[in-house]
Amino acid sequence: MMVNLKKLPEIAIKAYQYELPEYAIAKYPLAKRDDSKLLIYRQGAIETSIYKNLPKYLPANTVLIFNNTKVVEARLEFTKYTGSIIEIFCLEPFNINVDITTAMQQTGKVEWICLIGGAKKWKNGILEKTINYPNGTLLLQANKKSVIKESGNYLIEFTWNDDTVSFAEILHYAGIIPLPPYLNRNTEKEDYVRYQTIYAEKEGSVAAPTAGLHFTPQLMQALQQKGIQTAYVTLHVGAGTFKPVKAEQITEHEMHAEFIDVSKQMIENLYQQINQPIVAVGTTSLRTLESLYWIGLKIYEHYISNNTLLHFHDISVEQWAPYVTKNIISVQQALQSILQWMDINNIERVVTKTSIIIVPGYTFKIVKGIITNFHQPQSTLLLLIAAMIGDDWKMVYDYALQHDFRFLSYGDGSLLWLH
């Protein structure tokens, strides 16, 4: 998509700087998930609570939308004959026509885009690793095929000598759960449980949708007892979520693309619930929900109006689409367009990619509130929060720091209502 930069919001990233002391970063989770603090923000007012009390702060007709992605053991370590360690970090399948869920189920051989730690030590040749799994052992091989010039990542071909074993199983038996770099520690046994939501289902993320880490079976039951509805979407979180914004202006920052997967039933329910308070659990759920509107608009413009054949990659959401699109339709029309397209194509799920960036100036289409952790300074996630509550983000973050809230992935969270 060719974008006229003059039409985009002018935002200096330095305006979203705040002082985050090292002691405020939670290096480990609390013993009990729902004992985490919860900051409540609405129309300039702030209150402190804990996650166990979340139901009392939500209207009974609220719809909570969760991201049910599952973090995979995406880090693979290979030892060369010299003793040096080569770490391969699996990011996403190389084939653009294969979604992550399908790619995870492939057997025998896969091609993935990867980061390589110690790449200079691996000039050529095939790396090998023996894997123990329930049926015995197998040999995993990694072949570095090429460098991807645009990103500096690598195309790696993995092969293994048992075609009954999926790539998901290879990662499960041989890989390591990747923790965010700002935790600055190795993955420990506890992380395999705690760096995963209790409702994680669809394997494919290299980072957890951390807002969901606070939910317990007891909290989910309490929400249900109040009549609060819950639903699930999938966004497979990529390593780009930790990519720092190095540009001075946000228009110069390239947003990462991530796979989303939403069922027809979910979209039908959303169409019926659109006048209820829809609250996203996490920035990933929010970006998925808002992407649905822009997908619906694209289908409306190109398919419903002009009868153009659209495939999954045709309906992807470009980074700046919300800021340069001229036509605007209602949310109901957008969702109807998706459903009509699904009916005609006889499909039950919308599977595509989104690069949507939500920054101050964005007009929210579907979401009325968000449950989210506290984010890094000068990050796209913090810009999303500012888009939702305006300059009050400074007041919220100052309050959180002054009241000993824990920050980032294993930290506390907040319930923020749209300004």
CA distances from 177 to 25, 88, 152, 226, 258 (A): 20, 12, 23, 35, 19
The answer to whether 58 and 228 are in contact (CB under 8 A) is: yes
The answer to whether 296 and 333 are in contact (CB under 8 A) is: yes
The answer to whether 68 and 237 are in contact (CB under 8 A) is: no
Residues of the chain with CATH 3.40.1780.10: 9-70+194-417
pLDDT at residue 311, rounded to an integer: 76
- Around Cβ 363, how many Cβ atoms within 10 Å? 10
Angstrom distance (rounded) from CA 124 to CA 139:
19
pLDDT at residue 1, rounded to an integer: 47
Q: Give residues with Cβ within 8 angstroms of 105, minimum separation 6.
A: 166, 167, 168
pLDDT at residue 231, rounded to an integer: 98
Long-range contacts of 79-87 (CB under 8 A, 24+ apart): 79/129, 80/121, 80/122, 80/127, 82/121, 84/118, 84/121, 85/117, 85/118, 86/116, 86/117, 86/118, 86/119, 86/121, 86/122, 86/127, 87/116, 87/117, 87/118
β-sheet bridge partners, residue 114: 90, 154
- In 166-279, where does DSSP find H-type helix? 167-174, 191-194, 217-225, 264-273
- Around Cβ 130, how many Cβ atoms within 10 Å? 9
Question: Each residue's pLDDT tens digit in the chain (419 positions)?
Answer: 445 555 677 899 999 999 999 999 999 999 999 999 999 999 999 999 999 999 999 999 999 999 999 999 999 999 988 888 999 999 989 987 778 888 999 999 999 999 998 888 888 789 999 999 888 899 999 999 988 876 778 999 999 999 999 999 999 999 999 999 899 999 999 999 999 999 999 999 999 999 999 999 999 999 999 999 999 999 999 877 777 788 999 999 989 899 999 999 999 999 999 999 999 999 999 999 999 999 999 999 888 777 777 777 789 999 999 998 887 899 999 999 999 999 998 999 999 999 999 999 999 999 999 999 999 999 999 999 999 999 999 999 999 999 999 999 999 999 999 97
Rg of the Cα trace of the chain? 22
pLDDT at residue 226, rounded to an integer: 96
The answer to whether 342 and 263 are in contact (CB under 8 A) is: no
Helix axes 380-389, 283-299, angle to 10 degrees: 80
For 309-323, the DSSP string reads ---GGGGPBPTTHHH
Amino acid letter, residue 390: G
In 3D space, the residue among 264, 272, 278, 75 whose CA is nearest the CA of residue 181 turns out to be 75
Give residue 332's region: left, alpha or beta (phi > 0; psi -120 to 50): alpha
Report residue 138: phi and psi, to 5°: -145, 165
Annotation: CATH topology of 9-70+194-417 = QueA-like (3.40.1780)
DSSP label at residue 364:
-
The answer to whether 174 and 140 are in contact (CB under 8 A) is: yes
The pair of structure tokens assigned to 414 is 């907040």
* Distance in Å from the first CA to the final CA of the chain: 31
Angstrom distance (rounded) from CA 331 to CA 196:
32
Report residue 130: phi and psi, to 5°: -90, 130
Helix axes 331-345, 283-299, angle to 10 degrees: 70
The answer to whether 377 and 1 are in contact (CB under 8 A) is: no
CA angle 125, 131, 136 (to 5 degrees): 135
